[in-house]
A and B are shown apart, each in its own frame.
Chain A
Amino acid sequence: MAKGLDVGTSFIVLAEENSKGKVTYKDFRDAFYVIKPTTPIATKMIEKGLSGKTFVKDADGSFIILGKDAIEKAVERNDSAKRPMYKGVVSSKEKDARRILTYILKEVSGTPAEPGEKLVFCVPAQPVDQEDDDFDVGYHEDVIVKLLTEVGYSARAINEAEALCYSELEKDDYTGVALSWGAGMVNVCVMLNGEPVVTFSTTKSGDWVDRMAAVATGEADSIVQAEKEQGDFTVGQPNDNQVLAAVASYYDRLIDYTTKQLASSMDGHKSLPKFKDPLPVVVAGGTSKAKGFVDLFAKKLEENGFPLPVKEVRHATDPLHAVARGCLIAAQVM
């Protein structure tokens, strides 16, 4: 038995094959919100109000609401939920981040079926649009390996976009390009016959859209995120709703920025082989689920001079679970 774990900025997804031909995914929203009662009466009232929600009680008496309930509670209070991860790695901005992330990962991954069960989890690649010293995946990787080892797994990290290639490029002999559009980053992998030849990331993705739309409209990030996920909008198209109009507009800018980064980072790079056939480009991740995303991405890829020949741009079969599925495949081959 083996498991795959997508440790994302916005979602944690566990994949496991429970019987032949069936895969079970467990999704959990990577967010928390802390409420600290000031009086014993307030404690009782809050605990009663949180009945049915996903939460834990801390030793200091505060309530830590987890997952989508945290976002709902934050929106209710016109506030923003906190994230244990920031731009693909454990957040250094939140003092509770490591503890909360540890708790969530332990709960989602569960106990291993046998001691030393293989588990592969994903990590982001080095970004091309941020200085090296500002970003390090080593510590993040160590934190997760340590906690999963304590639980009893034999854990190993894999590049996020490499995992996406293993999930989506089987019919293309594992040759093509994969982009994982998460909340914090866009991870890219160019693969040739199952070997990654180029991997990198960029640091603007769904969270950047939320942040910019929040600044433009004066709303909290959580409110923009909730509107974005529930509302009806098309990337780059006008919208009557002010928040969704801003989201649609910043999506357009994000795709333009990312395709320009792809072109400038890969153009003339000596690690890239000469591909004789045009390549499939696969996109996945929550950010890529917006209406019109794939079409606009394909258009911008061409406009901004993507240096490789493209056969098609397609969505992953299951964009939210594709990376976890790739981790599961890697764990089974390992």
Chain B
Amino acid sequence: MESNIASMNILLYFTAFVLGCIVGRMTGKPDLGDPRIDPKGSFFKPEVRQRKQVEIDEKTFVTNVSTDSLEKKCKDLGTQTTVEDDVGSSVSKLAMLKKNK
């Protein structure tokens, strides 16, 4: 009689363990490695970024920044250089690559 109860208990525990494993596997997140190195979609596919990222918006409210009080006392800012460079070929190739996806 006692051995029957022990067997029933073992069977019950084993069944509960197996069910737990199945439920855990079905509902748990897959291991994707370090989440900090996930690119969260390409620049050209922001919808992928939005779909993957479901999180609270913690951004601080961006208030107006006035630069009116700064009186300019110089010429234009920055040093300009012009180079021979055909970015058109890069643009065409990349656009083609994006179109084919």
Residues of A within 8 A of B (CB): 12, 14, 17-18, 20-28, 47, 50, 53-59, 63-64, 66-67, 98-99, 102-104, 106-108, 120, 125-128, 132, 136, 138-139, 142-143, 146-147, 156, 158-159, 162-163, 166-167, 170, 173-174, 189, 193-200, 265-266, 268-271, 318, 325, 328-330, 332-334
Q: Write out the residue numbers on chain A whose beta carbons fall within 8 Å of the beta carbon of B70.
A: 56-58, 64, 99, 103
Check if A128 sits within 8 Å of B94, measured CB to CB.
no
Check if B82 is an interface residue, CB within 8 A of chain A: yes
Inter-chain CA distance A17–B86, complex, in Å, is: 9
Q: A139-B59, A199-B39, A330-B43 are in contact. Are A170 and B93 (CB under 8 A)?
A: yes
Check if A107 sits within 8 Å of B76, measured CB to CB.
yes
Check if B39 sits within 8 Å of A198, measured CB to CB.
yes
Give chain A's interface secondary structure class. mixed
Q: Write out the residue numbers on chain B whose beta carbons fall within 8 Å of the beta carbon of A271.
A: 32-33, 37-39
Interface size on B, residues (CB 8 A): 49
With both beta carbons as reference points, the residue of chain A lying nearest to B45 in the complex is identified as A195
With both beta carbons as reference points, the residue of chain B lying nearest to A198 in the complex is identified as B37
Inter-chain CA distance A227–B90, complex, in Å, is: 37
Q: Which 7 A-B pairs have the closest CB atoms?
A: A59-B69, A200-B37, A26-B78, A199-B39, A28-B78, A194-B97, A269-B33
Residues of B within 8 A of A (CB): 31-34, 36-40, 42-44, 57-60, 62, 65-67, 69-91, 93-95, 97-98, 101
Inter-chain CA distance A156–B23, complex, in Å, is: 42
With both beta carbons as reference points, the residue of chain B lying nearest to A189 in the complex is identified as B39
Inter-chain CA distance A61–B79, complex, in Å, is: 27
Knowing that A143-B65, A162-B39, A334-B44 touch, tell me 5 more A-B residue pairs with CB under 8 angstroms.
A27-B78, A104-B77, A106-B67, A189-B39, A196-B42
Q: Write out the residue numbers on chain B whose beta carbons fall within 8 Å of the beta carbon of A142.
A: 59, 62
Inter-chain CA distance A25–B79, complex, in Å, is: 8
Check if A107 sits within 8 Å of B77, measured CB to CB.
yes
Question: When the two chains form the complex, which single residue of B57, B79, B87 contacts A23, counting CB atoms closer than 8 Å?
Answer: B87
Check if B34 sits within 8 Å of A265, measured CB to CB.
yes
Inter-chain CA distance A102–B91, complex, in Å, is: 29
Check if B58 sits within 8 Å of A136, measured CB to CB.
yes
Check if B82 sits within 8 Å of A18, measured CB to CB.
yes
Inter-chain CA distance A226–B89, complex, in Å, is: 38
Question: When the two chains form the complex, which single residue of A58, A120, A128 contacts B36, counting CB atoms closer than 8 Å?
Answer: A128
With both beta carbons as reference points, the residue of chain B lying nearest to A137 in the complex is identified as B59
Q: A58-B70, A128-B34 are in contact. Are A24 and B43 (CB under 8 A)?
A: no
Check if B31 sits within 8 Å of A332, measured CB to CB.
no
Question: When the two chains form the complex, which single residue of B37, B44, B88, B98 contacts A128, counting CB atoms closer than 8 Å?
Answer: B37
Check if A20 sits within 8 Å of B88, measured CB to CB.
yes
